[in-house]
Structure 1
Amino acid sequence: MSPFSESPITSSDKIFIAIRSDIVAGVIEAGSKLSEAELSTIHGVSRAVVREAINRLENVSLVERKPNIGARVVTLTHQGLIQLYQVREALEGMAARLAAQNMSDKEIAQLNKLLANHFEEVKDGESYYQEAGDVDFHYRILLGSHNQQLISMLSNNIYHLVRMYRVQLGMAGPRVTTAFVEHKNIVQAISNRDGELAELLMRRHILYSKNNIEAKLKQN
């Protein structure tokens, strides 16, 4: 199931989504300990609801548990980045190739429209923030693969961890303009139904993004 399905959202879901968003955006800092009591007070829910949310956050790779420490937000590390982006490059490259084969003409038109909307955000050259879900370029291409196994593997496991690296380290500065141009080239390959080129360009795009984030991690 997609993490952005249209099924009714429960109060438990809302807390999970709220904490997840705070982790991805860095409001709850990477590496910080999660306190059930503190979070239950902030969100006005029981500790049982918070505990369930933390368990779900662990399942999507945003939280880890350590002996004698408890639940902590994952730390953004060089090794973690390398391993994550090796997987991302392979799977999203495959998604781009399948999208070129499987997306309908309507879906491709919507993808081009999405990119046109993104242009308004990047023309100042300062930032390129994409909300999670259908307005995220990468997520839209993943859906366009029409491969449910691939969609589940990415969206239910590492999607938000990838976003954590992207949002906190990779969506500002000089990389913004070049990333947008790379997106345009990927969409053009998909529009031309050139799956081989779409995969190559996506893999290269993710490699460049990894290099950018890696440089920022080293600076920190």
Structure 2
Amino acid sequence: MLDQLDPPVIAQDDSETLSENVFRRIQAAIVKGEIAPGSKISEPELARTYGISRGPLREAIHRLEGQRLLVRVPHVGARVVSLSHAELLELYEIRESLEGMACRLAAERMTLEEIDELRRVLETHERDAAFQAGVGYYQQEGDFDFHYRIIQGSGNRTLTQMLCGELYQLVRMYRIQFSTTPNRPRQAFAEHHRILDAIADRDGELAELLMRRHIGASKRNIARHYQDGTNQTATERGES
């Protein structure tokens, strides 16, 4: 429930507007699952939780709708997005194709300095406490995100706008929610290293193949998750 939510602590830059700050705080809460998928957004509750007036709050909500994190439901209002199984698989099919292309272009276009920075990103991921404990994968955004760095390194502005703009936070939301699948963090880390090696070797064809396989593995994990949920529901109903 929103009234039980501890507001995320995000430092506010002196030049940052109140609307921008609350936008980032609500965005983080949605992406991390602190405000659950499908939750109805109550403006009065959010205004009390974040100590903000309705004007800046509505501006933040409008921006979150633009990122597809919130959806408008007729006669209900705004809700946190909750993709169906089919919609989620479609999103991962888009990722598989477009991030594969981005990886191929990155192998051709990233500078040696950018590749070294990408390697340091993975070193940071390996030191993360959740990863070391085997309970999750490092989930910071932007320049600390392995996928984000590769997309930026593709040098294709249209591709970057699609994957790092319109779809980015929606994709992050589901990446985080499924990052705790048993054994997946270690597997993903090993796959990231193989992708990085292909990029460093300037083997665009292999880099694309490995990225597509990497995202394909995540897509299969999602399919299994939904299948397990369906089987459990059927068992509870006494279905065979």
Whether the TM-score (by the shorter chain) exceeds 0.5 is: yes
1:158 match? 167
Per-residue CA deviation, residues 58-91 of structure 1 (Å, 9 max, x unaligned), is 1111111111111000114211211111111111
Point out the structure with max Rg over C-alpha: 2
Shift of 1:36: 1.1
Counterpart selection for 2:213 from 190, 204, 208: 204
Amino acid at match of 1:184: H
Q: Tell me which stretches of 4 or more aligned residues in structure 1 moved more than 6 Å.
A: none
CA–CA distance in 1 between the matches of 2:203 and 2:19? 43
Shift of 1:172: 4.2
Amino acid at match of 2:188: A
Unaligned runs of 5+ in 1: 1-5
Amino acid at match of 2:105: L
1:73 matched to 2:75? The reply is no
Greater RCO (CA < 8 Å, at least 6 residues apart) = 1
Counterpart selection for 1:95 from 78, 102, 112: 102
Counterpart selection for 1:215 from 224, 230, 237: 224
Pairing of 1:80-159 with structure 2 (within 5 A) = 80-121=87-128, 122-159=131-168
SS in 2 for 1:206: helix
- Identical pairs, percent: 50
CA–CA distance in 2 between the matches of 1:30 and 1:71? 12
Number of corresponding residues: 214
With 166-175 and 134-143 compared, the bigger mean Cα shift is at 166-175
TM-score, scaled to structure 1 = 0.92
Q: Give the aligned CA root-mean-square deviation in angstroms.
A: 1.5
Per-residue CA deviation, residues 182-213 of structure 1 (Å, 9 max, x unaligned), is 00000000000111111110011001011112
Shift of 1:129: 2.6
Shift of 1:148: 1.4
1:44 matched to 2:51? The reply is yes
CA contact (8 A) 2:27 2:64 kept: yes
Amino acid at match of 1:200: L
With 66-75 and 163-172 compared, the bigger mean Cα shift is at 163-172
CA–CA distance in 2 between the matches of 1:207 and 1:36? 38
CA contact (8 A) 2:103 2:150 kept: yes
CA–CA distance in 2 between the matches of 1:109 and 1:171? 28
CA–CA distance in 1 between the matches of 2:221 and 2:70? 24
SS in 2 for 1:125: coil
Counterpart selection for 1:193 from 199, 202, 218: 202
Shift of 1:218: 3.3
Per-residue CA deviation, residues 78-131 of structure 1 (Å, 9 max, x unaligned), is 112111111111111111111111111000001111112212233432221321
SS in 2 for 1:64: strand
1:174 matched to 2:196? The reply is no
Counterpart selection for 2:38 from 21, 24, 31: 31
Unaligned runs of 5+ in 2: 1-12, 230-240
Per-residue CA deviation, residues 136-188 of structure 1 (Å, 9 max, x unaligned), is 11111111112111111112211111111111123442111111110000000
TM-score, scaled to structure 2 = 0.85
